Structure 1
């Protein structure tokens, strides 16, 4: 069975810093400077206040499975909401594990996976998670 191909993210001026950090193995999340709360996905306005008073900060890359499902298709994969140590939940894939061992509350760690554009060229690494 061939490896599942991960679609390359669309990169524009609003997301370039996030994907540049991903290429360096770092996960960036948003930080609302007005509330001190982190958020995902990073963007130019706080989802809490709608203020542009936001920063990109590096996340630890550690979290906990909040919810998940296993897609049992030709190339099975697990989708999950992972609650990051910083607080926000990220919709992602769980990789490098036996899906039968997945459970809500399982500790996970960041694992970037390569992506590929439709034309076959490599894309930016995509943040996914594996059991810690």
Structure 2
């Protein structure tokens, strides 16, 4: 699964077909609908939790457990989903359908999109 890009203004970027305007994630070489060229464009950052799991297994000492791994559906288009973490609330407070908003978290030299309750 590819991580979406972030621009210089810390906006979440998702690829979009320049012809049919369909959002595409994960990125492919061409639009699967019309074979058009793709270009990264900013999205609103608004989403809902599509599904999630709470991880209790520590895979890295810098990441405290438990934490939420979720598939969120972006507001721009049905079925436009990405995998991320839900932050800023207790894992037991996360629900399917919960409105969330993108935040950027610094991880090493990289900004990574995560989501918090809207």
Query: Into which bin does the TM-score normalised by the smaller protein fall?
Result: 0.7 to 0.9
User: Number of residues paired by the alignment?
Assistant: 109
Per the normalisation by structure 2, the TM-score is 0.80
The match for 2:53 is: 69
| Post-superposition offset of 1:67 | 0.6
| Higher RCO structure (Cα 8 Å, ≥6 apart) | 1
Does the 8 A contact of 1:42 with 1:56 survive in 2? no
The match for 2:89 is: 97
- Deviation per CA, 1:37-80: give whole Å up to 9, x if none: 112234542233444x2221110011000010000234211111
Distance 1:59 1:42 in 2: 15
In the alignment, structure 1 segments of 5+ residues that lack a partner are 1-8, 117-122
In the alignment, structure 2 segments of 5+ residues that lack a partner are 59-64
| Post-superposition offset of 1:31 | 0.8
The match for 1:79 is: 69
User: CA-atom RMSD, angstroms?
Assistant: 2.2
Per the normalisation by structure 1, the TM-score is 0.72
